[in-house]
Amino acid sequence: MLLEFLALSLMKRFLAVVFVSASTSAAVVYCLRSQTNPVPTAGVDRVEDIPTMYTGLANQPSPQYIPDFTSAAAKTLDAVVHIKTMAQVRPVAHQPFQDFFFGHPQGQQRSPIQSGSGSGVIIRDDGYIITNNHVVANADQIEVVLNDKRSYVAKLIGADPKTDLAVLKITGDQWTPMSFSNSDEAQVGQWVLAIGNPFNLASTVTAGIVSAKGRNIDIIQENFKIESFIQTDAAVNPGNSGGALVNLNGELVGINTAIASNTGSYAGYSFAIPANLARKVAKDLIEFGNVQRAFMGVNIRDVDQALAQSQNLSRLKGVYVDGVMNGSSAEAGGLEPGDLIIAVDSFNIESTAALQERLGLHRPGDAISLGILRGSRHMRLSIVLKNKLGTTELLTTEHEIDLKFGGQLRKGTLERLRGLGISHGVEVKNVAGGLLSHMGLQPGFVITEMNGTAISQPQDMDALLDQSPNRFYIGGFYRKGEKRFYSYP
């Protein structure tokens, strides 16, 4: 009795602390990997469709019965993998140019090896795996461990920081992939399982329900990001990132990505990228090496009561159009400032997150039907979506424009790098104004370092710019081997 009394007292004390903390400080959203980050490599020789089963909710158990999770777990455990990464933190190079402008780093030692852990889902029988970008970004080595403990070295096919998704490839066998559900049909209150490797506890299964849809938790720090998470109360923890959220038919509903917590461990809220969006991004990365992102060319915002009153809107749901860009898809389709977007095709739109998710499912050249409210009139507009260059062309990696730097950047080709006698670098294809133009860089320049850190891909530069947006320098080579440094400002 004494032990029971003490245990009860301690439990009450712990809950009180948690409750007080929750009432006095905001929850923090955490990504669910144990540590780390690689390098997108474009293209594969063969592209096959990712299997899809749109069975919807017809086979879900009736809510008056206690569900049996064993069948769904048995069908999906072998398709969820444990991802282990290793990366050497890049040392800061000592350069006279850097020392002059930024000072000399003191006491620098050789960087240690950093390890990380997460989860992934096999989506094709030839070894393609989807996971979170933050699980594998900047990793030098990626290991995939299957449920039966077989281990493989994985290649990074491509990554998309804007959706926090990445695709890996393992070879040597055929695997049983997980089928995708139609995540549009997921409903609040529906049973789901979370499968992954929390705290390196391999092949862990937890259960919960879908508790909300279309959540924007502002965790992805990227321009043109897409956040429209499925929120669940299935327990997930660090190491679950990239793992599967599945329905009772054993089909993929989402990719587990983040939790809301005051401590960094599960506190009742977890968030998954919808399966439909994950499937589209994965197909793009496999086929093109980058995501075919479609744009309307509008400035938008959510509707609240203040906006509805000031603009005399008749409803609080929808997406308000603040502005329409010249030459954009929206302008060509007849969208006007002040319009309220309430539907895309047959889907109701209640928030900017929902609109961004719908657009994220399309490629440039696709036509969508917008339902809008203009004053008191309901209208339908046909919009042909464009890429960020303002055309309907599907862009390869070479066409990627880095909007932060203002130019076309691509990972240096092996031929170009060998010609300069270097092992890594990012080539400036075009300068379209912005930072590159301001600094004086010319097309053909190969960037090998930024602020003393080695650069292998454009995303490396984006990350460093986020860390030091107001003061940085870039070093590299022109075609004849001439090394140059440029500084900003």
Indicate which residues carry an active-site annotation: 134, 164, 241
Distance of CA 262 to the CA centre of its chain: 23
- 70 Cβ partners below 8 Å, 6+ apart? none
Contact predicate 334/301, CB 8 Å: no
Tracing tokens 């850190």 back to the chain, one arrives at 453
Give the three-state DSSP class for 53.
Answer: coil
Distance (Å, whole) CA 305 – CA 312: 10
- 71 Cβ partners below 8 Å, 6+ apart? 248, 250
Distance (Å, whole) CA 312 – CA 309: 5
Q: Which of these, 277, 253, 116, 92, lies nearest to 178 by C-alpha position? A: 253
Q: How are beta strands 155-160 and 141-145 bridged, if at all?
A: unpaired
Taking the CA atoms of residue 181, residue 186, residue 189 and residue 193 in that order, the dihedral angle to the nearest 10 degrees is 30
For 80-120, where are the alpha helices, taking DSSP H only? 96-102
Give the pair of three-digit tokens for residue 226.
């897409």
Tracing tokens 């594998």 back to the chain, one arrives at 136
Which DSSP symbol is given to 366? -
- 375 Cβ partners below 8 Å, 6+ apart? none
Contact predicate 483/477, CB 8 Å: yes
For 200-245, where are the alpha helices, taking DSSP H only? none
Tracing tokens 């880095």 back to the chain, one arrives at 402
Contact predicate 335/383, CB 8 Å: yes
Residue 150: CB atoms within 10 A of its CB come to: 12
Q: Which of these, 238, 78, 73, 83, lies nearest to 145 by C-alpha position? A: 83
Q: Give burial (CB, 10 Å; 0-12/13-18/19+) of 23.
A: exposed
Beta-bridge partner residues of 436: none
- 368 Cβ partners below 8 Å, 6+ apart? 344, 345, 358, 359, 362, 382, 383, 385
